[in-house]
Amino acid sequence: MQPIRTVKNQYRGINAHLHSFWQAEHKWNRFHNVHVSDLMKRLQVDLYPMGYIAQIEDSLQIRRIGDDINFPKADIIISDLEPANRSKTPLQPRTSMLVIEDLFIDELDTEHPYSAIVIRERETENAEPIAWIELLSPTNKGDRKDARTYYGKRWALLESGIVFVELDYLHETPPTFENIPDYTRGKNGSQPYRILVLDSRLDFRQGPVELEEFGVDTPPLPLNIPLNGTDKVKIDFAAVYQTTFEEARYGYSPDLDYHQLPTHFDRYSLSDQERIVARMLAIIKAEQADVDLETNGRCLRKQCHSKMDCNKSNS
C-alpha cells in the first residue's frame, strides 16, 4: 500500500501525525525554528508600517542555569521604533474573565528565585522590547533544568511589564500553568493545544489573559497582541502554521503516512482519537476516489468535471 502524503496539511489545525512523531522521536527542532521564522516574517508585514519591528534572538533555545541570564533569550521580540510618536493617553485597564494571577498557584505570594532579574535593552538594540513570543519546546515544560530556567525568565518578563505570548503545541506534556486543565491526565475541559497572551503592562497580578485552547482538527482563532498605548497587532496563527507546513514540505516527510495511526495514538483523548480516525478515513476515501488532496476537492478522473460529478460516479 502506497503511503498517502500531500504538500497541503490535511488537518484544519495542528497536524496530529507529525506533532506526535516529532515529540516521540525528539525531533521538535525540525519544526521549531522554521515556524518561528515564519511567525516573525508575518508579524513584520503588519508591524513595520506601524513603527514596530519583530526580531528573532540569536538563540532560540532557553539558556541553561550556568549561562548568563541577564539577557534571557526569546523566540521573537517586538520593539517600538517610534516610542516618542505614540499617544500619551494612559492605558485603560481591560476586563477579562482570566487574569494573570489566576494562572499561578501560590507563587505570587512566595519568594521567586528569579524575581531580581532585570530585562535590559541589548547593547546592539535601539529599542526596549515590549512583547515577547515563545513557541514552547519539550525542554521548556515539566520539572527539568531548562524548564525551570524558562519559568524564571517568564516570571521576570511579566514583572517588568512586557506582553508575553506563549504558544504550546505539545500535547504530550502538561501545560506550563497548573491552573489550566491538564490534557495528559484527561482532565475535564482540557485541550491538547493553547496560545496565551498575558498583558502585564498595567498590573502584574490583574493583567488580562487571552487564552485560546483548541483541539485536534480545529484551527485556533486569530489573536491580538497588545503593543504600546492602544496599538495592537492581530495575527492569524492558524494561517502561519499552514504556511510553515506547506512551504517546508512537511507533508512529504517519510515520517508521515495518513494510512497509519499517529505515533503514541493512545496519548490523545478518546474524542480526539475519533477525530483523527475520522480525518484519516476522509483522506483515504478521497484518495481512492481520485480527489486532488492538494486542492481539497478537484477530481482527477478524466470523466469527472466537478466534485459533484465525482461524487455521483462513486455513489
Mean pLDDT, the chain cut into blocks of 10 residues (315 residues total): 90 96 92 89 87 66 37 58 63 63 54 26 53 87 82 85 92 93 94 96 88 96 91 94 96 92 97 96 90 63 42 39
Total domain count, the chain: 2
Parent domain of 20: 16-247
Instruction: Identify whether residues 197 and 275 lie together within a single domain.
Output: no
Regarding whether 38 and 186 lie in a shared domain, the answer is yes
**Nine-digit cell at 123?**
547593547
Residues 35 and 97 in one domain: yes
**Cα(80)–Cα(126) distance, integer angstroms:** 9
Same structural domain, 74 and 189: yes
Identity of the residue numbered 176? T
- Tell whether 238 and 199 lie within a shared domain: yes
Considering the domain boundaries, does residue 175 fall inside one? yes
Cβ atoms of 96 and 209 within 8 Å: the answer is: yes
- pTM for the whole thing? 0.77
CB 139 within 8 A of CB 63: no
| Residues 151, 290 share a domain | no
Same domain (yes/no): 144, 278: no
Amino acid 120: pLDDT: 24
Q: Does residue 81 sit in the same domain as residue 26? A: yes
- 297 and 176, same domain (yes or no): no
- What confidence score (pLDDT) does residue 76 get? 60
pLDDT of residue 140: 83
Pairing of strands 291-292, 129-135: unpaired
pLDDT at 295: 74
Are 38 and 89 part of one and the same domain?
Answer: yes
On whether both 104 and 242 belong to a single domain, the answer is yes
Q: Domain holding 222: CATH number?
A: 3.90.1570
pLDDT at 126: 54
Half-sphere exposure of 209 (CA within 13 A, CB side): 22
Domain boundary among 215, 247, 279: 247
Q: Parallel, antiparallel, or unpaired for β 76-80 and 52-56?
A: antiparallel
For the chain, how far is it from start to end, CA to CA, in angstroms?
24
Residues 229 and 107 in one domain: yes
